[in-house]
Each structure stands twice: as structure tokens, then as C-alpha cells.
Chains A and B, each alone.
Chain A
Amino acid sequence: MKKHILILLSVLLIIPASTAIAAGDAPKLEQQRWNFEGPFGTFDRAAQQRGLKVYREVCAACHSLKRIAFRNLEDIGYDESQVKAIAAEYTVTDGPDEEGDMFERPARPSDRFPSPFANDNQAKAANNNAMPPDLSLITKARPHGHDYLYGLMTGYKEAPEGTDLLEGQYYNKVMPGHIIAMAPPLSDDQITYEDETPQTVEQYSKDVVEFLAWAAEPELEERKRMGVKVLIFLLVFAGIMYGIKKKIWADVH
């Protein structure tokens, strides 16, 4: 009897998790190994910094990253002066000043990444009427976001026969519906890395995913570290509680 109930309980707990994931019928994604996955996973700082470079030199031409402030870059291994230097390379509009005029100034660490377009309509007008989404949350906003993003970056192919592409459309094997308005953004040797890291589309894609995964979940490392401690505490606590419970109940059974 008890066994039956335990089985029922576990079914009740497992089913919701699997059904929540089951929704959606996007094309199959190749699973990549990400070192930030798993209970002890952490980000690779060097990969994140390379990913930032990819974002700044390629993605940022069309995609905003408006939830990330320059000061947040300290998370990915830059020190205060480096963050200041990166921020200073950008210009932001501030104001109004005492005369009531808006003015431009170099960005400070407290500023967020400036967006490439003034508003959504301008972004659409410049991109064949397709809206380049903000990338701050992109890996959380797509099913299996990390693998999806990697698949999208590396998934450009010749359209199979029978698929007609209009002007400004491209074929991508992981895009739902396979038709995407973004031109293939990466090519080998497009971005110069300062170290020996291979300058391939695959490597660029991995790095930019590492960076954007952090942008979407900046709390990931702290969360997992805290989680391990919390679980150790709870397991010990549960053990003690079980012992006390047994002792109290000993005279009853």
C-alpha cells in the first residue's frame, strides 16, 4: 500500500515538469555542453569576455542589450577601471541640462548599454520590417535557449528545394518555420581574438551564448552556490528530524 502511494506521489511530481517542457514543436536542437549547466556549473570568464566582444562588434549593430549596465561587467571578470574604460567608449544622451537642452556625454559604469535604434519602429524600418529582439533575456525567452541560440548562429543553410525565400529572408535549420530575417551574422575570422582561441563561427557562437546566458541570468553562480549550501543544510536537518521523529514515536509502534 505504502509503495503504491509513493509511486503515485512521484508520478504527480514528475508529470507537471515533463508536460511543461513538452509544449511547443520547434525543430530539434543539438545539445551542447555548457559549463554553466549542472548543479555546480559556473561561467567561463574568458569565454564571457570573448562573447562580449562578439556582441559589441557584431550583434550590437542591430540588437539592444538594454537591461545590462556597464557596472554589471564586473561580474564577468573586469575590474573597475576596465569597466570605466569600456563605458567611456560609448556615448549616451543625458539631460536636460540647466538650459533645458539634452546633451551627449561619454557613458559611465552606471549607464546601460545604449540601444542601436531610437525606438522599435526605427529598428523595424532599418531591418526589412523585422524587429531585432533585445538580447538581455534571450536565452531565457526561448525553449532550451542556450542550445537554440547556438543552433541559430550555426544553423544557416541553403534553402532546400521548394522553399521560396523573399528578398532579405534566409534559411535557418533551428528557426521555427525555418525562415529568418537576420542575415548570417558570423563568419570565420570576422572578429580578432587577442589570444589563441580559434576564430570560427562555432567558437564565436559558443562565446556569445556564454555571454548572453550570463546577461539573462546574472544570478546563476550565486544561485547555485547558495543552493548547494541550502540543500546540505536541509538534508542534515531532515536527517535530524527523522531521528527525533523515530525516537518520539518509538513507544507507539
Chain B
Amino acid sequence: MGSSERTPFENPVVEWVDSRLPVFTMMQKEYGVFPTPRNFNYLWNFGAIAMFMLVTMIVTGIVLAMHYTANTELSFDSVERIMRDVNGGWLLRYIHMNGASFFFIAVYIHIFRGMYYGSFKKPRELLWMLGVVIFLLMMATAFIGYVLPWGQMSFWGATVITNLFSAIPLVGDSIVTLLWGGFSVDNPTLTRFFALHYLLPFVIFAVVFLHVWALHVTGSNNPLGLEPKTKKDTLPFHPYYTMKDSFGLVVFIIIYALFIFFMPNALGHPDNYIPANPLVTPAHIVPEWYYLPFYAMLRAITFDIGIPFTDIVIISAKLGGVIAMFGSILLWFVLPWLDTHPIRSARFRPLFRPLLLLLLVDFIFLGYVGSQSADATLLGLPLSAFGLLATGYYFAFFLVILPWLSKNEKGRALPASIHEAVLAKNKKAG
């Protein structure tokens, strides 16, 4: 971004600006002629879609904040005022509320695409790790955002999740007190959550900037997992991918709009339309759907881990659950070193591919387990047993299967170049 070589622009105004601050040159370089692998499929749209969702959330969020009041006596009423009396308020709120879900849908697909095609591998490790940071920040932001309307699920969700931190040895209780701003979830909790809910999206934005910066250093991965070698392997970002991303984005927005206008509350929980009441506990406390797989892993650990044949407990059930829940995401940080197989794309890895797809099914099944009450059953067996099994596979995949495959899996023959593979495919298709 320094004062490197520049081609002058014809438009005098553009040229005047660009010779002083080369933003036009930068945009031209990074989004105009930027060489991009020519073989992206539609899964490569979800980065742009996630970016669109982030901006949508920030814009609607800022306007909502103009009408919202962070006070336990007033929050619920202020949200209902937005829904009933603010012009277009219901639309803003439903865009924001469902936007959280659709942001997560986009990001989950984006992450899975990264795993499937080995986008996290050298030299993109840092790019991937920044992505995991974004995901963690999103989890935090969405969680505290759900608390703001101060409904029953807001209050009890906040109580359950903040209490988890008390499982951390030595400092746990202090962390919980700090989160609450007192000795229970109450007004100080709500006001600090509102402040953080306004702050964190901008932190996310900053990390997204780094994420995109890192992407533009290494360039994008692609479905074949081969690095582009010649000019024939790439296309300029504009107009090819600006157009493909725009089309994909509009299709995504169609599904998003279906929810906003025709089933705005399908992804939420009815209990959150009951004002928070610390004296009445809801029958089932369930987090938002995008946390359910992790919530299931939290609940899967129901036993203390200690030294066998003694009463010494090293890890209590509660701490074990918390480690499983946070560990399941923290594992993603070291994924580039767990999967060191030289082939990136699952297309050329006959064992990795089915096992990763099984992980996807496993993850969705965990989501189902998380949505059910703790005493639910499946096929006459306690569901929690299946939850433990699914949690086991999740960890085994990352900690055992991936390192083993890295050493022992025989990959399929790779095409010589992206260009060649595309040509061969087109020939076959006629």
C-alpha cells in the first residue's frame, strides 16, 4: 500500500486523489485485476455473503440502538415499541434478528468449505486462524445480543452461559462477577452487554480486514487445491467474480427474505416474547440454534474425570463440559498442524472426504441433541449417550483421524494444473 508504481488515471479528479492517496490503484489491484483461480464453485460465494451480512448487521444494529433502552425495566418494552410504533421498526428488527442466523449460516458454510478444500493449509494458516478469531467474536457478539431484549430466554440463557465460566479453577468466580457486574444477572449485566454488543462488531470488522488482507497476500484456494501456476489458471476478480458473487448473494438474500417476511420467528424461541422473570425458570433453556452443537458437547460430559479407584477428581463434570465446548472450537486454531497431508482438496483424498462428511452429519446431529431436553431418549436409549458418542467422534476426527490420515492416506492423482483440469471437464461435458 506504499507509493509503489502507479498507472495514471484519465479522470482528473480520480487522478488528483490517487496521486495523493492511491485508493483507486489499490481497489483496482485488489478487486479489479486481482488474479483469482478460474475454477471456483458457488461455495466460494460465502465469504462475500458473510461480509454482506456483517455490514447488514452493523447498519440495522446502529439504527436499532437509537430506539433501544438498556435497562431491565425498559428493555423489553423498548423492543416492543420498536416493533409497534417506530416507522419500519419491525422490519429493522426482523432483519437484525434473522440476520444473526443467516450470518451464522453463511459463516458455517464458509468454514466447512475451508475444511473440505484444505484452505487452511500452508501458506494460509494465519488466514484460517484469523477466521477462527472472527467466529469466536461472532459467538460472543450474538450471545450478548440475544440478551438485550430481556425476555425469558435472554435472561436464563445469560444466567446459564455466564455461570459456565465459574468452572474455571481459581479465577472462575471472579470472571463471573466481572461479567455480571454484581452477584447475579441484573441491570449492570445488561448495560455492559449492550456496550459490548455495540463494540464487538467493529472489532470483528477490524479482524475481517486482516483476514481479507491475509487472503490477498496468499491468494484464494480453489476446489482443486492447486496453486495457480500460469495466467491461464486465473481470471481477473472483476467482472468474473464480482458478478458470480453478486448472483450468489441475491439467491442467498431470497432465502433470507423468506424468513424475514414470512416466518420471522421460526428460528427464535417463543419464551423470549415473555419478559424476563428471575423467579420463573423456563421448562427448557435452549440457546439459539447456532450454538446447539456446542451446547450438546457441553452437556455430553456428565461425569467427573479423576484418578481411577480413588475419590480424587481432577476435572469436574462441569469443567469437563466447558473444556469440551471451548476446546471444540479452539481445536480449529491448530487444524493446519493436525492435518498436514500434502493434498489440500478432499476431492483427491478418498478417506478424508467421507470422514469429513461424517463429521458434518455428526455436527448437525449434535445440534439436534442440543435442542432436546436433557432427559430425552432416542430408540429407547438416553439421548445423552448419543451426544457423548457424537462428541467423541468430533474430537477423535481432529485429534486421531486427521494426524493418522496425514501420514497414511494415499491421495488420488492430481491434475497438472487448474487450466488443464477445467479443459478436461469441459471436454467431458461437451
A binds B: yes
Q: What A residues does B43 contact at CB under 8 A?
A: 5
Q: Known: A12-B108, A67-B80. Contact between A141 and B240, CB under 8 A?
A: no
> Does B378 sit within 8 A of A, measured CB to CB?
no
**Contact in complex: B364, A224 (CB < 8 Å):** no
Instruction: Pick from A13, A145, A244: contact of B105, CB below 8 A.
Output: A13
Q: What B residues does A145 contact at CB under 8 A?
A: 270
**Contact in complex: A231, B367 (CB < 8 Å):** no
**Contact in complex: A24, B284 (CB < 8 Å):** yes
**Contact in complex: B284, A230 (CB < 8 Å):** no
Q: What B residues does A12 contact at CB under 8 A?
A: 105, 108-109, 112, 364
Q: What A residues does B261 contact at CB under 8 A?
A: 223-224, 226-228, 230-231
Which residues of chain A from 54 to 71 have any CB-CB distance to chain B below 8 Å in the complex?
Answer: 67
Q: How far is the CB of A91 from chain B (nearest CB, A)?
A: 23
Q: How far is the CB of A42 from chain B (nearest CB, A)?
A: 14
**Contact in complex: A143, B270 (CB < 8 Å):** yes
**Contact in complex: B367, A16 (CB < 8 Å):** yes
Q: What B residues does A17 contact at CB under 8 A?
A: 266-267
Instruction: Pick from A1, A23, A133, A136: contact of B372, CB below 8 A.
Output: A23
Instruction: Pick from B83, B257, B286, B347: contact of A231, CB below 8 A.
Output: B257
> Does B199 sit within 8 A of A, measured CB to CB?
no
**Contact in complex: B91, A25 (CB < 8 Å):** no
> Does B368 sit within 8 A of A, measured CB to CB?
yes
Q: How far is the CB of B154 from chain A (nearest CB, A)?
A: 13
> Does A102 sit within 8 A of B, measured CB to CB?
no
**Contact in complex: B371, A22 (CB < 8 Å):** yes
**Contact in complex: B265, A223 (CB < 8 Å):** no
Count of chain A residues with a beta carbon within 8 Å of a chain B beta carbon: 52
Query: Complex formed: what's the CA distance from A1 to B48 in Å?
Result: 23
Q: What A residues does B266 contact at CB under 8 A?
A: 17, 20-21
Count of chain B residues with a beta carbon within 8 Å of a chain A beta carbon: 59
**Contact in complex: A238, B247 (CB < 8 Å):** yes
Q: What A residues does B235 contact at CB under 8 A?
A: 252
Which single residue of chain A is at the shortest CB-CB distance from B273?
A141
Q: What B residues does A133 contact at CB under 8 A?
A: 274
Instruction: Scan A229-253; emit 1 where CB is below 8 A from any B CB, else 0.
Output: 0110011011001101100110011
Q: What B residues does A234 contact at CB under 8 A?
A: 250, 253-254, 257
Q: What B residues does A23 contact at CB under 8 A?
A: 269, 284, 286, 371-373
> Does A132 sit within 8 A of B, measured CB to CB?
no
**Contact in complex: B268, A20 (CB < 8 Å):** yes
Which residues of chain B from 135 to 166 have any CB-CB distance to chain A below 8 Å in the complex?
Answer: none
> Does B244 sit within 8 A of A, measured CB to CB?
yes
**Contact in complex: A230, B257 (CB < 8 Å):** yes
> Does B358 sit within 8 A of A, measured CB to CB?
no
Q: What A residues does B286 contact at CB under 8 A?
A: 23
> Does A140 sit within 8 A of B, measured CB to CB?
yes
**Contact in complex: B239, A248 (CB < 8 Å):** yes
**Contact in complex: A137, B80 (CB < 8 Å):** yes
Which single residue of chain A is at the shortest CB-CB distance from B76?
A137
**Contact in complex: A237, B250 (CB < 8 Å):** yes
Q: What A residues does B254 contact at CB under 8 A?
A: 231, 234-235, 238
Q: What A residues does B42 contact at CB under 8 A?
A: 5
Query: Complex formed: what's the CA distance from A12 to B357 in Å?
Result: 12
Instruction: Pick from B41, B84, B105: contact of A16, CB below 8 A.
Output: B105
Which single residue of chain B is at the shortest CB-CB distance from A233?
B257
**Contact in complex: B90, A219 (CB < 8 Å):** yes
**Contact in complex: A245, B371 (CB < 8 Å):** no
Chain A to chain B: the 5 pairs with minimum beta-carbon distance, closest first: A227-B261, A141-B273, A19-B371, A241-B247, A16-B289
Q: Beyond the given A16-B290, A22-B372, A241-B247, could you list 6 further A-B residue pairs with CB under 8 A, ordered by the A residue number?
A: A12-B105, A12-B108, A19-B370, A216-B273, A224-B261, A241-B243
- What are 24 pairs between A and B in contact, CB < 8 Å? A13-B105, A16-B267, A16-B290, A19-B289, A19-B368, A19-B371, A20-B268, A140-B273, A216-B273, A223-B264, A224-B261, A227-B257, A234-B253, A238-B247, A238-B250, A241-B246, A241-B250, A244-B243, A245-B244, A245-B246, A248-B239, A248-B243, A249-B244, A252-B38
